[in-house]
Structure 1
């Protein structure tokens, strides 16, 4: 019989990139570390993120269709840990002294020093078990730096 622990352990063996999704929530900015991020289509350019349905991030993404994803560099490991916190993390507080700017198309925070920034607008929301899949059209990209990526495998950043 498949147990949640076996399922989680098996999926943890798959190396994934690490990114931070940011979205403007009224006067504040929300940010969260994600590893469930992938391209969906080249024409039109579309991506997908998977977010826990019970999370505050999912709640905000239902209200705010525009958001950004910053693909993190290996040197941004501590930043990934700060944005992985549960609850309602204020992105500006979690950034600390990390340079950032507002994306011109999404108005979401873009973290400087990452590998790429992708500004998005949600087109489809799909419930998927205890998660929600947000499929979004890409509004713009910035290829920010050529560095080693931050990855996560076996529940550790590398």
Structure 2
């Protein structure tokens, strides 16, 4: 890597750290066993039809299950779920649900207390450098009360309304 490439990569990393992003856990299931990984790169893609996109590391076990099953759950975490986000951010998919409660919703692992839930069927998997972008058709979506967990400046926090 040249100095210029390194400088761009370093600057890009800093800029992205300054962008507040929602924190979610993508889940999948295999043989009755739940798997999941924390992501901060997801967005709505389309309203008609309802679609989302989520970026998963190429080495993710959860990505392999999403690829195999053709389905994934998106658990949009609440402000009080930073510890859950950290737990699911660790490498390796096995054991992340150990000691955690979870429910089966639309045949996908759902994390209780997460204010947002989206169940998806994979529409496409797109190459995105060191990640794969999963495009998902939304099969179900549910919102409950709660402030969102966001990641900004390499810290977890939440959104506060701006006084006008």
Asked if Structure 1 and Structure 2 have the same fold, meaning a TM-score greater than 0.5 normalized by the shorter chain, the answer is yes
- Residue of structure 1 in register with 2:17 after alignment: 12
Corresponding residue of 1:68: 73
Following TM superposition, by how much is the alpha carbon of 1:67 offset from its aligned partner in structure 2, in angstroms? 1.3
Larger Rg: 2
In structure 1, stretches of 5+ residues that fail to align are none
**Match for 1:36 among 15, 38, 41?**
41
Ranges of 4+ aligned residues in structure 1 off by more than 6 Å: none
The alignment covers a number of residue pairs equal to: 152
Counterpart in the other structure of 2:88: 83
Name the Cα RMSD after superposition.
1.3
1:22 paired with 2:27, answer yes
Query: Does the CA contact (< 8 Å) of 1:83 and 1:89 recur in 2?
Result: no
Q: How do residues 94-133 of structure 1 correspond to structure 2 at under 5 angstroms? A: 96-98=99-101, 100-104=102-106, 107-133=107-133
- Asked if structure 2 preserves the Cα contact closer than 8 Å seen for 1:22 and 1:91, the reply is no
Give the CA deviation at 1:56: 1.7
Whole-angstrom CA distance in 1 between matches of 2:63 and 2:97? 19
**Structure 1 36/71 Cα, relative in aligned 2: closer, same or farther at 3 Å?**
same
1:53 is matched with which residue: 25, 37, 58? 58
Q: TM-score, normalised by structure 2?
A: 0.87
Which secondary structure does the structure 2 equivalent of 1:6 belong to? helix
Matches of 2:116 and 2:147 in 1, distance apart? 12
